[in-house]
Homo-oligomer: A and B are copies of this chain.
Amino acid sequence: MATIHDVARITGFSLGTVSNVINRPERVAPKTRAKIERVMAELNYTPNAMARGLSLGQSRNVGVVLPNSHHPYFAHIVDGITDAAFPTGYRVTLLPTNYDEGFERQYLREFQQKMYAGMIFVSRQLPLADLVNYVRYGQIVTCENVGDMKITSVYSDRTTTYRAAFRWVWQRGYRNVALLGLRGPEHSETTRDLMRAYEYVFHEELDPDRFRPGVSSRQDGYAAAQYLATTDPKIDFVMANGDDIAAGVYAAYKELGVKMPGIMGTENQLSSQLLHLPTINHHLETLGHIAFNQAIRPGIRHQLVKSDFVAR
């Protein structure tokens, strides 16, 4: 592979001049610049990104921290991020944690070493305070409401939408609601938000037995619904954490032949349309888009992305 030395040697100019045509073309005379550019093209030369990064102390990568990419919630956000990154020339690298703090720490250290120009924490295990410690090394953006913590955030106004959704559930006459989630309220801000909205509308705490954690796929939804239907037949509404999951719930109740409860999904995917189920649209692609743009420019900002309740 051709290096900057090769083009310097061949053109007869110095390293510095060649470097200048790459980084500050205006400083070099048009004629020599043309000559150097021609040779670069001939040699099919591209600056080595690693060397550049090492010298500059920065890269054109953004790291995206997330537990996995199975769940549609994460997949949609990653979609938005890569779309936004594409025209900018930034690369996005996926940093899966499998819910393990250790990996998050590892990624943070790599960040500190300037491997990533910015990081997006789509999800995190580490305390927010730990992340805040790293903002001095570059841009970190979180995808949650962080209050007035000194860290950039992009988040959806879940509370408002969850309340609207529960109000709809209440008005429809449902009184025995079960919730499905990825992780319990002790681990997940989303689950806490959801429960708080429930309490706000129903004026009571949710029966702990009516929250089923560990649900992330249609199959999980199916299993959870089977459990609920057999152990707690009074349940008349199931709020699922994803449309495909909602579809799994639907299938389980249908197969058991018991009375179908009301079901709600989230993410506004195809499956809720097909089954004509209400859902919540978090506009996750938009969220990803914004998160990327925050990740590549300095400054601490907080941005809200509105979500919608889709009644059906």
Chain B residue numbers with a CB within 8 Å of A114 are 48, 50
CB < 8 Å: which of B75, B110, B244, B251 contacts A46?
B110
Chain B residue numbers with a CB within 8 Å of A32 are none
Chain B residue numbers with a CB within 8 Å of A82 are 68-69, 94, 96
Chain B residue numbers with a CB within 8 Å of A53 are 50
CB-based nearest B residue for A51: B54
* Chain A 39-70 interface mask (CB, 8 Å, partner B; 1/0): 00000101011110110000101000000111
A106 to chain B, nearest CB (A): 8
Q: How many copies does the complex hold?
A: 2
CB < 8 Å: which of B44, B54, B91, B271 contacts A54?
B54
Chain B residue numbers with a CB within 8 Å of A86 are 96, 98
* Chain A 87-115 interface mask (CB, 8 Å, partner B; 1/0): 00001111110100000001001101111
Question: How far apart are the CA atoms of A69 and B75 in the complex, in Å?
Answer: 9
Question: How far apart are the CA atoms of A93 and B115 in the complex, in Å?
Answer: 13
- A50, A95, A275 interface centre (most CB from chain B within 10 Å): A50
Q: A94-B91, A94-B94 are in contact. Are A109 and B50 (CB under 8 A)?
A: no
Number of chain A interface residues as a range: 35 or more
CB-based nearest B residue for A97: B86
**Which A171-220 residues sit within 8 Å CB-CB of chain B?**
218
A186 to chain B, nearest CB (A): 25
* A29 contacts the other chain (CB 8 A): no
CB-based nearest B residue for A86: B96
* A236 contacts the other chain (CB 8 A): no
CB-based nearest B residue for A47: B113
Across the A-B interface, the 5 shortest Cβ-Cβ residue pairs: A93-B93, A46-B109, A50-B54, A50-B53, A48-B113
Q: A68-B83, A92-B93 are in contact. List 18 more A-B contacts (CB 8 A).
A: A1-B113, A44-B109, A46-B106, A46-B110, A46-B113, A48-B113, A48-B114, A48-B115, A50-B114, A68-B82, A86-B96, A91-B93, A91-B95, A92-B94, A94-B94, A251-B273, A270-B271, A274-B275
Q: A residues touching B (Cβ–Cβ < 8 Å)? A: 1, 44, 46, 48-51, 53-54, 59, 61, 68-70, 75, 78-79, 82-83, 86, 91-96, 98, 106, 109-110, 112-115, 137, 218, 244, 247, 251, 270-271, 273-275
